[in-house]
Amino acid sequence: MTNFADSLVEQIKAKGTPCVIGLDPRIDEMPGFVLSRAMAAAPDARRRTAISVFHDTVLEAISDLVPAVKLQLAFYEQYGLEGIAAFQDTVETARRKGLIVIADAKRSDIASTAAAYANAYLGRSEAFGVSSRVFDVDCITVNPFLGADSLRPFVDCCKQFGKGIFVLVKTSNPGSTDFQDRVLADTGTPLCERVAAMVHEYGSEAVGACGMSSIGAVVGATFPDEARRLRQLMPNAIILVPGFGAQGGTAADAVKCFKADGFGAVVNASRSVTYSSISSTTSLEDFIGTVRSRTMLMISEIRAALAERRD
């Protein structure tokens, strides 16, 4: 069974970058060539068509540049059943192009319900005597705030099926300080550090040949000081770094999540790559060129920041 961390590190080395592109469908902001394709479809298939065409085009532009894509479930779910169908379309297209697929779903619940989430996205579901994969992504983000038992089903699926998780530790939004920075009375340390310790504990069960674990963490680029400390607390965790680009995190901020050898994290950008400078009149060729050039700019910025940090 292939270890998820090994697969991700292998892809990072093959592509020469730890950059990940986020796919967050916003139909009203898509270029005209996408919307015209959607309007030509049956009324009950227009949302699915728009999302699938848009992301097929994005994947065409970036698949040779990056190791993975991150699909934000909420942006698909807002379009109902068509959005979920489009999510599955995007997963299948990304996998055909050899990309690792991260579902940004932030799932969590009591252990029995968490097991259902884990089965849906990472493992297998049983019905009528048949075991089958459902969404079958490579990795999913999970919320740890229901406790250790809520994480166990996800960890078990990672070990059984060669999948991965990224546990929310210190998120990129300003409101993360409301709870994640609260100091615990028993330890005198912030809650996010207690979660980091849990990630490290569970992560020891799923360390690959690369020395990194399939149990990773989410730490925002918008909190670089905290990121430095959390990196120390989770030496084997791959860190998913949101907040770069549109949310204000810089390349210098993002690389605080990396290990000294320049590995150990992946940096995500979404809106700043796929929607910035796009208008209703943007042509197919210009859209592909813009997405590709913005991806290459991100890659260049992260590489430069990593080199400066090593120096």
Task: Just list the catalytic residues.
Answer: 106
Give me the residue label for tokens 């992504």: 137
Collapsing DSSP to helix, strand or coil, 294 comes out as: helix
Eight-state DSSP code of residue 122:
T
E-strand ranges in 242-300 read: 265-269
Instruction: Tell me the two tokens of residue 147.
Output: 């406790």
> Residue 123 class from Cβ within 10 Å (0-12 exposed, 13-18 middle, 19+ buried)?
buried
Using CA atoms, how far apart are residues 287 and 66, in angstroms rounded to an integer? 18
Collapsing DSSP to helix, strand or coil, 146 comes out as: coil
Q: What are residue 3's DSSP bridge partners? A: none
Using CA atoms, how far apart are residues 306 and 236, in angstroms rounded to an integer? 19
Using CA atoms, how far apart are residues 184 and 52, in angstroms rounded to an integer? 45
Using CA atoms, how far apart are residues 29 and 270, in angstroms rounded to an integer? 13
Using CA atoms, how far apart are residues 100 and 102, in angstroms rounded to an integer? 7
Cα 233 versus chain centre, distance:
21
Report yes or no: 210 and 5 within 8 Å, Cβ to Cβ.
yes
Dihedral sign, CA of 7, 93, 143, 295?
positive
